[in-house]
């Protein structure tokens, strides 16, 4: 049976991804930094709970030991993420963004991914079919944000897209370093979740589709790529 860990899985897209993978037969660990919410979510889903705050070394290392003791890991989904919002649900722009806001965003969205990968790579390397899915964003695409004809061009924020572009680079570099793993970045689409103040236009069911799909690729699947439900995306 495939064992899967999803960070930030007590709500939103992570929760729906967990639901879908449990239904597909995976043993799913719901990683959450809030123990009560995480346990409740795991109970609802028929999954397992593991305390995991991607910004905290101790919880990440403890989670890795727990999952190792339970038999190991096959699929890691780096889903936990934040987008800094200010008054009126606005995003800090080039005129207003501060270094502290950037640092906070990167601590979860970038350093958190590295922290979790560092802890779980030894387990993944023991799997017969290891997979990593890094949840990125269409806003990570330099090509699209540079294109005045593309809708993403008009997004004014700085911290979130910069952090997700960094996640894409992590995806490329880790995929080259570990050719035995299938490591990809995905764009779930503009989904209605707490991350964006529920302003998204997609459901969590739609947002989870590409994550679920890429979590189930085989050893002959792609690696080092950036995908949405329609296929590869430009960097």
Q: Which residues are catalytic?
A: 160, 164
Structure-block tokens of residue 29: 């660990």
Sheet holding 48-51, edge to edge: 48-51, 27-32, 3-7, 75-78, 131-135, 182-186, 226-228, 231-232
> What distance lies between CA 227 and its chain's CA centroid?
13
* Neighbouring C-beta atoms of residue 23, cutoff 10 Å: 12
* Neighbouring C-beta atoms of residue 99, cutoff 10 Å: 8
Nearest CA among 74, 77, 78, 53 for reference residue 63 = 53
- Rounded CA-CA distance 14/233 in Å is 21
**Residue showing tokens 């952090």:** 163
Angle at the Cα of 217 (from 62 to 16), degrees rounded to 5? 60
Q: Tell me, what DSSP letter sits at residue 150? A: S
What does DSSP say about strands 226-228 and 231-232: parallel, antiparallel, or unpaired? antiparallel
| Dihedral (CA of 13, 233, 3, 166) sign | negative
């Amino acid at each position: 049976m495939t064992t899967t860990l999803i960070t930030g899985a007590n709500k939103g897209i992570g929760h729906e991804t967990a639901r879908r993978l449990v239904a597909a037969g995976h043993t799913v660990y719901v990683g959450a930094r809030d123990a009560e919410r995480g346990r409740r979510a795991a109970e609802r889903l028929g999954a397992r709970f593991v305390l995991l705050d991607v910004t905290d070394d101790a919880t990440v290392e403890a989670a890795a030991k727990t999952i190792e003791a339970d038999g190991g890991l096959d699929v890691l989904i780096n889903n936990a993420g934040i987008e800094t919002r200010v008054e009126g649900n606005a995003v800090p722009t080039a005129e207003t963004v501060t270094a502290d806001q950037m640092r906070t965003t990167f601590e979860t969205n970038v350093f958190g991914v590295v922290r979790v990968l560092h802890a779980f790579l030894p387990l993944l390397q023991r799997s017969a079919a290891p997979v990593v899915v890094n949840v990125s964003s269409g806003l990570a695409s330099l090509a699209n944000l540079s294109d005045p004809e593309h809708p993403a061009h008009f997004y004014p924020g700085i911290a979130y897209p910069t952090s997700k572009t960094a996640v894409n680079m992590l995806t490329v570099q880790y995929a080259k370093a570990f050719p035995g793993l299938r490591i990809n970045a995905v764009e779930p689409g503009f989904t209605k979740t707490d991350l964006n103040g529920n302003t998204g236009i997609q459901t969590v069911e739609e947002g989870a589709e590409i994550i679920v799909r890429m979590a189930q690729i085989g050893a002959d699947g792609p690696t080092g790529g950036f995908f949405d439900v329609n296929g590869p995306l430009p960097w």
